[in-house]
């Protein structure tokens, strides 16, 4: 977990601890079923001390959700900026998307379930960031179609299909399991290319991967 | 909604009403935030009357989740039994999966979010049905690979990718929107075929679909 959170915006030790413990409780019990007292108990501190760092439970949720989306967008922009080749852009953006969802599983689960617990105007801001992200995917696929490199019947549905298959990873990926995050990312990169009509030979025989 | 629920197991009018109203409240507020009194209020009846039909709020959740999974499995089995051609099996199973997720959006959302609110042994039963479903998808893809019709690097990841991209439909599909459930199903069927290495020309030009 230390390696994971190190990729999120830098926060002082105590703030990072609170966020991590709160995230874990939100993911397991749900936001509404978790009190500031529960968070304090899990950290071995009294609830009032939490308020030195966060105004409210809602503020913790906001920071978790905003930090998560901003990191995802940064990784995505890096992937696109790293090459002009639209095929490589799609591969790298898919790999970044899948790595992200394999790594920040609790953040994704809380983000998807607790969006309804987020108060305005923060909810609209998060929804806007998500929209920005999926629009960028659609634009990427449209660029590939425009260059006659991709062939798809619906750029939007293709973008959403790639996004959704990657989001699913957060539900089942086990970092202690047989498949590494890196191999996983390669597989999804190949699947994304297939979805835009670029057929590669499979990376490995069935028996080697299963 | 009348057309939708008619495909679920037949229930007497009042029971169906209670299930429908409870489902809607669970989807919008969450299971824990919904009381039997809320369900009664929405129906204009007193909470104690609900207990003539359901033992508990938990039993309503159980019936919603079990009914949902059983219907999904039935549609899946019908799709597989309808043809021996593994390509058509994949196409029809994907179309059934997508139609289902386009239609039963509240059921899917409640199913995915509230699985943690389900008590044992029902939770394990639902998890088992889900496992049965995804295993059948993996077996389908393995059959296609065995017949040298499909080419994939990982049958399991390919199965999960198809499942997840279809599940995503429940989050955004709008039956009043521009794209019909049927056209949606065709698009996803084509994408599933691409994922197993069967490249078709896109069904329509970009401009015709977007």
Closest listed residue to residue A117, CA positions, set B170, B29, B21: B29
Indicate whether B192 belongs to any domain. yes
Is residue A73's pLDDT more than 90? yes
pLDDT at B2: 41
Distance CA B98, CA B107 (A): 14
Residue A20 lies in a domain: no
Band of residue A176 on the pLDDT scale cut at 50, 70, 90: very high
Tell me how many domains chain A contains: 1
Pair B4, B103: CB distance under 8 Å: yes
Q: Please write the tens of the pLDDT for every residue from A8-65.
A: 444 568 888 999 999 999 998 889 889 999 999 999 988 888 898 999 999 999 999 9
Share of chain A above pLDDT 90, in %: 72
Structure confidence at residue B206 (pLDDT): 43
Residue at A124 is within a domain = yes
Q: Is residue A49 part of a domain?
A: no
Asked if residue B6 is part of any domain, the answer here is: no
Q: What is the DSSP letter of A116?
A: G
User: Is the per-residue pLDDT at A156 higher than 60?
Assistant: yes
pLDDT above 70 (res A2): no
In this complex, the residue of A116, A157, A201 whose CB is nearest that of residue B187 is: A157
Residues of chain B with pLDDT below 50 are 1-10, 201, 203-210
Which of B206, B207, B209 is the mutation pick for testing A, counting most A CBs within 10 A?
Answer: B206
CATH number for the domain spanning A181: value is 1.10.357.10
Average pLDDT across chain A, whole number: 88
pLDDT of residue A6: 43
ipTM exceeds 0.90, yes or no: no
B134 within a domain of the structure (yes/no): yes
Q: Look up the domain containing A94 and give its range.
A: 57-199
A6 Cβ neighbours under 8 A, 6+ residues apart: none
Q: Tell me whether residue B1 is in a domain.
A: no
Q: Which is more confidently placed, A140 or B8? A: A140
From the list B156, B160, B194, the residue facing A197 with the nearest CB is B194
Question: How far is the C-alpha of A91 from the C-alpha of A85, rounded, in Å?
Answer: 10
For chain B, say whether A201 makes contact (Cβ under 8 Å).
yes
In a domain, A28, yes or no: no
Does residue A202 sit in helix, strand or coil?
coil
The answer on pLDDT for A122 being more than 90 is yes
């Amino acid at each position: 977990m230390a390696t994971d959170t190190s990729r999120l915006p830098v926060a002082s030790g105590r703030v990072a601890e609170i966020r991590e413990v709160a995230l874990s409780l939100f993911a397991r019990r749900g936001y509404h079923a978790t009190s500031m007292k529960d968070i304090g108990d899990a950290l071995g501190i009294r609830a009032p001390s939490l308020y030195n760092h966060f105004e409210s439970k809602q503020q913790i949720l906001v920071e978790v959700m905003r930090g998560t989306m901003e990191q995802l967008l940064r990784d995505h922009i890096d992937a696109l900026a790293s090459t002009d080749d639209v095929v490589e852009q799609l591969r790298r953006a898919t790999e970044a998307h899948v790595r992200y969802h394999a790594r920040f599983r609790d953040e994704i689960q809380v983000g998807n379930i607790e969006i309804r617990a987020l108060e305005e105007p923060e909810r609209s801001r998060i929804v806007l960031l998500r929209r920005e992200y999926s629009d960028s995917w659609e634009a990427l696929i449209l660029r590939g179609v425009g260059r006659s490199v991709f062939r798809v019947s619906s750029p939007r549905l293709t973008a959403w299909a790639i996004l959704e298959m990657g989001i699913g990873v957060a539900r089942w990926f086990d970092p202690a399991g047989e498949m590494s995050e890196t191999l996983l990312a390669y597989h999804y990169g190949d699947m994304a290319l297939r979805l835009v009509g670029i057929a590669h030979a499979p990376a490995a025989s069935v028996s080697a991967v299963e």
